[in-house]
């Protein structure tokens, strides 16, 4: 069980993580529904995505599209495109 304490002082169990398409950023989802993007090499927080309210993030995937990169997240039965 891994506990991640973010720079925004939230502490929760990591439930899922993935790399972005460039393999330079790691995207972390937690049991509280929070999703953060960190620089893989420095660990610095780059961005906090809109959280899933009161739902554990169970799936993350970063895909490249013609309009740029999209992060897909699933929590409960809700699918979000960030």
69 three-class SS: strand
- Average pLDDT of the segment spanning 28-45: 90
Among 71, 64, 53, 55, CA closest to 17: 71
Please answer whether residues 25 and 35 qualify as being in contact, where contact means their C-beta atoms are separated by less than 8 angstroms.
no
**pLDDT tens-digit profile of 37-77?**
999 888 889 999 998 888 999 999 999 998 889 999 999 88
Q: pLDDT tens, 8-23?
A: 546 788 899 999 999 9
Say what the pLDDT of residue 12 is.
Answer: 81
């Amino acid at each position: 069980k891994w506990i991640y304490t973010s720079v925004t002082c939230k502490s929760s169990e990591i439930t899922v993580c993935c790399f972005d398409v460039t393999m330079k950023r790691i995207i972390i989802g937690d049991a509280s529904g929070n999703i953060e993007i960190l620089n893989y090499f420095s660990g610095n927080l780059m961005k906090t995505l809109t959280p899933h309210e009161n739902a554990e993030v169970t799936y993350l995937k970063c895909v490249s599209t013609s309009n740029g990169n999209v992060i897909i997240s699933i929590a409960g039965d809700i699918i979000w495109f960030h």
